[in-house]
Structure 1
Amino acid sequence: MKYIYGPVKSRRIGYSLGLSLVPYKLCNYDCIYCQLGHTTKKTTQRKEYIKIKDILTELKSFVRTPDFKNMHIDYITLSGTGEPLLNSKISLLIKQIKEITPIPIALITNAYFLSRKDIRGEILDVDLIIPSLDAIDKDTYVAIDKPEGDGLATDSQSYKPEGDGLATDSQSYKPEGSGSVESIIDGLVNLRREFKGKIYLEVMVIKGINDKIDNFKKLNDLLVKIKPDKIHLNTPKRCASQVGVLAPDKNTLRKIKNILGANCEVV
């Protein structure tokens, strides 16, 4: 199969049947921990990189096979080898999947595009969203995720937060642009207000970069508004795209987990 992979056993969501919505390593980030290696095409341009009709044709054929009928699948997962929200027709795909199978749909996203209300509206019919938040300050965000535009505006207009906005410290922040870490945090807050399904927030914890205890105390303050159903602490486990990207020790992870509370787990 070209666009479908699995099902694979996921530490986070059980048995997952994955769908690839964009070509290999097409992303708006170049995360230093990515097990797939460096991003080969970094962009924020959304379009129908892979035709939705082609994905659906493959899925329809697959669900008619005897193998499918004997499989246990917890979620059909929109993820793949790049950022799925770069596919501008994702809402059509979600709608059509719902007509093909009752299996719940999960979306794994780096959360970059969640600052946009129109894009949040495209994904409200999935059952589970797993967004990433690896940093709450610009320097750490740029160091880990290496976003297109270095965390600044992605267009000529300044970012204007919806609602009340947020601050990552005791002072009000001044958002730098759509795609900034502040806009991503605002997007997560607004997603919780609009989305009726489950949100599992994923945080990649990297030794010496974002594993300071004070960092997670500040994150815990933000979680009051983000309100995820679960927090998943992830660590680099396989070959990362950058040498020297390591997991913190177990004691550090235990302290972080205790700070973030009962709905936090190390995956």
Structure 2
Amino acid sequence: NINIYSVFSYIPKSIIYDKAHVRFTLADISGEDCCSQCSNDCLTSATHCMCARETSGEFAYSPEGLVKESFLEECISLYKGLAEYCYFYCRNCPLQRLKKNAFNSCNGRIARTFIKECWSKCGCRQCGNRVVQRGITRNLQVFRTPEGKGWGLRTAEDLPRGAFVCEYAGEILTHCELQEQNMERSGHQKHMYVQLDAGWSSYSFLKDEEALALDAHDYGNVPRFINHRCFDATLIGIPVEVESPDRHYYHDYGIDFNDKNHETETFICLCGSSFSRGKKLGKK
């Protein structure tokens, strides 16, 4: 059998497709968004600076560069549905506008806490609150899985709990642009996209160019090879705001296998987890 794989361009950081509204200058960063007075490591400072305000005044990272256990457990509980969800509802929802829903009623989004790292305008330079922006530091390996799941990602070293593995990079685009791209692509190509909705709750009205998604179909990096696994995945995605050997890593992409209107084609989940949600139904 001859398998044909989609060709993509490798990028270390996400890029803006066209209309996505994510451009800003240093002048746009106010004093509330940076710690210009800091000069040393913010994590070991006696008083926490403004960069910790998104995580309730406490930094999410430990001095060793790991996500703290309390913050990690909060994120895991949210993903697994063990914590009580705090939903917010968009006024004039951009996703419903895209579907041309006459009632335009938002289905609700989960309010997620995100990590804010120190920026270029901050006074600190060798700060421990700069984990993701330093890029991949672990030995990662893309490999061919034996279970029929295609390519996968593993490490050549044991990683401590809470360690940063990699940033999921791709094209940042609006949902309108994403829909247009999906219509232009071949119906035989399967891919998933990520909704960048962690900060949506801070908007009273979300414009189309502010409701963004991340698509790694044409441009991406090693995380595009991470296999899905239902519920008991070994990785968790945490939104971050920034200017064992042979261990195979999985991530639960949160796929709704009963969503018949999702752009992704029908496929059977091969994750092997006892919590597997089964078959993606797809459109009829």
| TM-score bucket of the superposed structures, by smaller chain | under 0.3
Please say which structure displays the higher CA radius of gyration: 2
- Identify, as 1 or 2, the structure richer in helix: 1
TM-score normalised by L of structure 2: 0.26
